[in-house]
Amino acid sequence: MKGDILCFSHLRWNFVFQRPQHLLTRCARDRRVFVVEEPVFDAVDRSHITITHAPARVRVVVPHLRELDRECEADVQRRLLDDLIVTEHIRPEVLWYYTPMSLRFSDHLNAPAVVYDCMDELSNFAGAPPGLRDAERALLRRAGVVFTGGRSLYEAKKHLHQNIHPFPSSVDVDHFATARSGNLPEPPDQAGLPYPRIGFFGVLDERLDRDLIAGLADLRPQYQFVLLGPVVKIEPAWLPHARNIHYLGQKSYTELPQYLAGWDVAMLPFARNDATRYISPTKTPEYLAGGRPVVSTSITDVVHPYGDLELCRIADTPQEFAEAIDAALAEDAVTRQQTADALLATMSWDATWQAMSEHIDALCGKDSASCSIISSLVPGSPAPSWPSASPQALEKRF
């Protein structure tokens, strides 16, 4: 067993199953993985942490802070993190960052490998915290390796670090290929919808082109537009509504192939704005693995390579998008699926994690297990005396 990973994430583990979950569940096959989420301000008496065991042996750590802790949030989180390390007998070999803001309370930790998995340009998103760009610059100075969530993001940041590598969205082909079988049960909330169905799954937020969806529903009243996912950072009332637009809510990763199997076309109706400039949608290869034709707006990491390979039709206006859907409904799928399968065979999450882990092992040396005890709570101090591990579900209070 290799040394432990401490991951700092701005995304909730039990939110949408995406890049962090795909990578860290694979990491947890031979490492202990602790995912430290952003705090919730619901503590009544004292700030504390809760630890729960997610599937695949990932431990999810949630800091619970008091409202009065907002003024000293970083100090409280630092104290909770130190307690976590001691109580859980953690010997971090890897500090893995999804959000640079976590440096505020973790910059006193050392580890052989510091990883920045830059999956998005977070500073371009609605509600980005003040100081995010400065925090990212600090993290880039500390990181031993940087991964980017797509090719365009790599091109934008490659000059900022000497050891940076693009790892675009990968796919669990076997999981989504079940949508091709014709044997999956129809979900009850989709079963009564007429055909043809044009579907999307993902977070419904500021990246969604709401005007495009409204225009499509108006131009093609005979098509049913099905959108799955939680509504985040926008008011639900802001979403377009029509008789042929159907919001079915958030679904689990396990359920997605069942919905995908009932769609005639899958869509990527993303707005073209700052928040989408560098995205590499994981759902693109997932749609293709499920055997669906895809229509997308001109997101750079969708145009290249999927548009270039004619695996995805690209359209931006409602009229163009509607016509692309028409063409997708009429196409002969055999050639597209052959091309898609050849591409998908090169981009599994297993292969992506293997390549990432080789970069991490290179930072630790050939015998990475020998590096696992280098970390300490204070830079330059000796390793602490570690107590025994806690029970499977721990709640530690100060």
Assign 155 a pLDDT band (cuts: 50, 70, 90).
Answer: very high
**Cis amide bond preceding 257, omega within 30:** no
For the ranges 67-71, 175-179, 197-201, the lowest mean pLDDT is seen at 67-71
CA terminus-to-terminus distance, the chain: 31
Structure-token pair, residue 355? 């390549």
Residue 368 confidence (pLDDT) above 50? no
Residue 14 confidence (pLDDT) above 60? yes
* Per-residue pLDDT tens digits for 84-104: 999 999 999 999 999 999 999
Residue 386 confidence (pLDDT) above 70? no
Cα–Cα distance list, 109 to 39, 95, 363 (Å): 19, 8, 16
CATH class held by domain 173-344: alpha beta
Nearest alpha-carbon partner for 153 in 340, 261, 66, 278 = 278
4-170+348-397 and 173-344: same fold? yes
Q: Give the rounded distance of the alpha carbon of 243 from its chain centre.
A: 32
Residue 285 confidence (pLDDT) above 50? yes
What is residue 171's DSSP assignment?
B
Residue 292 confidence (pLDDT) above 50? yes
Residue 1 confidence (pLDDT) above 90? no
Nearest alpha-carbon partner for 169 in 302, 263, 292, 293 = 302
Residue 149 confidence (pLDDT) above 70? yes
Structure-token pair, residue 290? 């499920």
For the chain, give the mean pLDDT.
Answer: 90
Question: How many helices and strands in the chain, by DSSP H and E?
Answer: 14, 15
Pair 348, 175: CB distance under 8 Å: no
Provide the CATH number for the domain formed by 4-170+348-397 in this structure: 3.40.50.2000
Q: Strand pairing partners for 64?
A: 40, 48
Residue ranges covered by each domain of the chain: 4-170+348-397, 173-344
The amino acid at 14: N
Q: What is the pLDDT of residue 196?
A: 98
Nearest alpha-carbon partner for 266 in 318, 206, 310, 225 = 225
Query: CB within 8 A of 146, min separation 6: which ones?
Result: 115, 116, 117, 118, 140, 157, 160, 161, 163, 164, 165
The amino acid at 236: P
Residue 378 confidence (pLDDT) above 70? no
Residue 394 confidence (pLDDT) above 90? no
More confident residue, 388 or 72: 72
Task: Give φ, ψ of 377 to 5 degrees.
Answer: -70, -30
Q: What is the pLDDT of residue 365?
A: 80
Residue 374 confidence (pLDDT) above 50? no
Structure-token pair, residue 159? 């000059």
Q: With pLDDT > 90 as the criterion, what percentage of the chain qualifies?
A: 82
Q: What is the pLDDT of residue 57?
A: 83
